């Protein structure tokens, strides 16, 4: 556990927020999750409990460790409960206006020395920091999905981030037994700057009729040794998230190579967002996923 940080606050009881809560509690931190509704918090806590149970079954932790970790996690829909946070990690939706509204709400509650971090996968850390009362104590701590499994965390400083903030964040990530990679504050950082254009290109390959969903995913799994095909991965990430990251790259770098594929736009407009909505490049409503094209 970090010497400086004891209480971790998390904004958002979705997939990422719950994953960060899971690994933080397992590492010995007290964790408080904030979301807009108690229902979402209950659902998130149930997910965390299920994930811990799976780790017990797989021999990754004992039942005693699971109970102790769960006891360190609380949740509520009252923003004032985030006041004790030494480090507050925002894991809300990938929408800058939403994040800005959250910061306006939480900054007055936080103690002056608290660090505020964002789990954004693509947005400017400098710009988000400027929307807070503590740009020097703000930075990007970008976890990969699913958080309990993935070993990498991207650390991204804004132009105003102080060295002490960066050091505390690095120490925190190391205490979770994750590997740090440091990225500069450019659109989509390292992983998504490389990964999302590849996914977008796979969608163009489908759009232009070069191959079917199955052909493209099989080609990349067996031809490039990827554990998951790019279209299957897009469904896992969420097609709305894929689109928003491509838009950030296209807007931020002004290069036509980052233009989101029209087929990706069409799927998002249809509400076919991947696994979470039941349909994307695959249809998940039956026993086994079936390609939708």
pLDDT digits (tens, 9 = 90+) for 264-284: 999 999 999 999 999 999 999
From the candidates 51, 124, 142, 244, which is the catalytic residue? 142
pLDDT tens-place string over residues 149-201 = 999 999 999 999 999 999 999 999 999 999 999 999 999 999 999 999 999 99
User: How large a percentage of the chain has pLDDT more than 90?
Assistant: 98
Element at 180 (helix H, strand E): strand 179-183
The answer to whether the beta carbons of residues 56 and 32 sit under 8 Å apart is no
Task: Say whether pLDDT at 2 is over 80.
Answer: no
Tokens 């989101």, residue located? 260
What is the predicted pLDDT for the residue at 207?
98
pLDDT tens-place string over residues 49-63 = 999 999 999 999 999
Q: Which pairs from 148-152 meet CB under 8 Å and 24+ separation? A: 148/19, 148/22, 148/23, 148/26, 148/51, 148/55, 151/178, 151/179, 152/178, 152/179, 152/181, 152/191
**Could you tell me where in the chain the CATH 3.40.50.720 domains are found?**
7-183
DSSP state of 260: P
What are the C-alpha distances in Å from 135 to residues 48, 130, 161, 162, 236? 31, 6, 6, 9, 33
DSSP state of 266: H
Please say if 22 is a catalytic residue: no
What are the C-alpha distances in Å from 94 to residues 131, 182, 237, 243, 290? 16, 21, 12, 10, 28
Please say if 32 is a catalytic residue: no
HSE at residue 149, side-chain half, CA atoms within 13 A, is: 6
What is the predicted pLDDT for the residue at 151?
97
Task: Say whether pLDDT at 34 is over 80.
Answer: yes
Pairing of strands 73-76, 87-90: unpaired
Average pLDDT, the chain: 97
What is the predicted pLDDT for the residue at 87?
98
What is the predicted pLDDT for the residue at 232?
98
Please say if 154 is a catalytic residue: yes
Please say if 192 is a catalytic residue: yes
Token representation of residue 6:
């004891």
Q: Helix (H, G, I), strand (E, B), or coil: what is residue 157?
A: strand
**Could you tell me where in the chain the CATH 1.10.1040.50 domains are found?**
191-291
Q: How far apart are CA 137 and CA 269, in angstroms?
A: 37
Tokens 């977008």, residue located? 200
Q: What is the 3-state secondary structure (H, E, C) of 215-258?
A: HHHHHHHHHCCCCCCHHHHHHHHCHHHHHHHHHHHHHHHCCHHH
From the candidates 22, 154, 200, 244, which is the catalytic residue? 154
From the candidates 121, 122, 200, 244, which is the catalytic residue? 121
Task: Say whether pLDDT at 14 is over 80.
Answer: yes
pLDDT mean over 219-231:
98
What is the predicted pLDDT for the residue at 236?
94
What is the predicted pLDDT for the residue at 49?
95
Task: Say whether pLDDT at 3 is over 90.
Answer: no
Token representation of residue 290:
């079936």
What are the C-alpha distances in Å from 118 to residues 20, 40, 89, 169? 12, 20, 5, 11
pLDDT mean over 213-218:
98
Rg (CA), the chain: 19
Residue 1 pLDDT class (50, 70, 90 cuts)? confident
Q: How far apart are CA 222 and CA 207, in angstroms?
A: 21
CATH number of 7-183: 3.40.50.720
What is the predicted pLDDT for the residue at 4?
81
CATH number of 191-291: 1.10.1040.50
10 Å CB burial of residue 170 (0-12, 13-18, 19+) is middle
From the candidates 85, 122, 192, 200, which is the catalytic residue? 192
Q: How far apart are CA 249 and CA 246, in angstroms?
A: 5
């Amino acid at each position: 556990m970090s010497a400086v940080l004891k209480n971790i606050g998390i904004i958002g009881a979705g997939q990422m927020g719950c994953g960060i809560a899971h690994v933080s509690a397992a590492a010995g931190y007290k964790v408080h999750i904030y979301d807009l509704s108690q229902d979402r918090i209950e659902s998130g806590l149930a997910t965390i409990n299920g994930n811990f149970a799976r780790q017990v079954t797989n021999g990754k932790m004992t039942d005693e460790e699971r109970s102790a970790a769960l006891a360190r996690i609380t949740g509520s829909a009252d923003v004032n409960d985030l006041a004790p946070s030494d480090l507050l990690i925002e894991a809300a939706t990938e929408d800058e206006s939403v994040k800005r509204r959250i910061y306006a709400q939480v900054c007055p509650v936080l103690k002056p020395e608290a660090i505020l971090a964002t789990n954004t996968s693509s947005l400017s850390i400098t710009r988000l920091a400027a929307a807070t009362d503590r740009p020097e104590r703000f930075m990007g701590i970008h976890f990969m999905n699913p958080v309990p499994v993935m070993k990498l965390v991207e650390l991204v400083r804004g132009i105003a981030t102080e060295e002490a903030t960066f050091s505390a964040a690095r120490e925190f990530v190391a205490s979770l037994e994750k590997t740090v990679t440091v990225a500069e504050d450019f659109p989509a950082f390292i992983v998504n700057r490389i990964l999302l254009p590849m996914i977008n290109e796979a969608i163009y390959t489908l759009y232009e009729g070069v191959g079917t969903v199955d052909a493209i995913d099989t080609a990349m799994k067996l031809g490039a040794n990827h554990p998951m095909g790019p279209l299957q991965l897009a469904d896992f990430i969420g097609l709305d998230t894929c689109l928003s990251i491509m838009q950030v790259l296209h807007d931020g770098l002004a290069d036509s190579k980052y233009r989101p594929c029209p087929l990706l736009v069409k799927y998002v407009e249809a509400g076919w967002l991947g696994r979470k909505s039941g349909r994307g490049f695959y249809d998940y409503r039956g026993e086994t996923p079936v390609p939708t094209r």
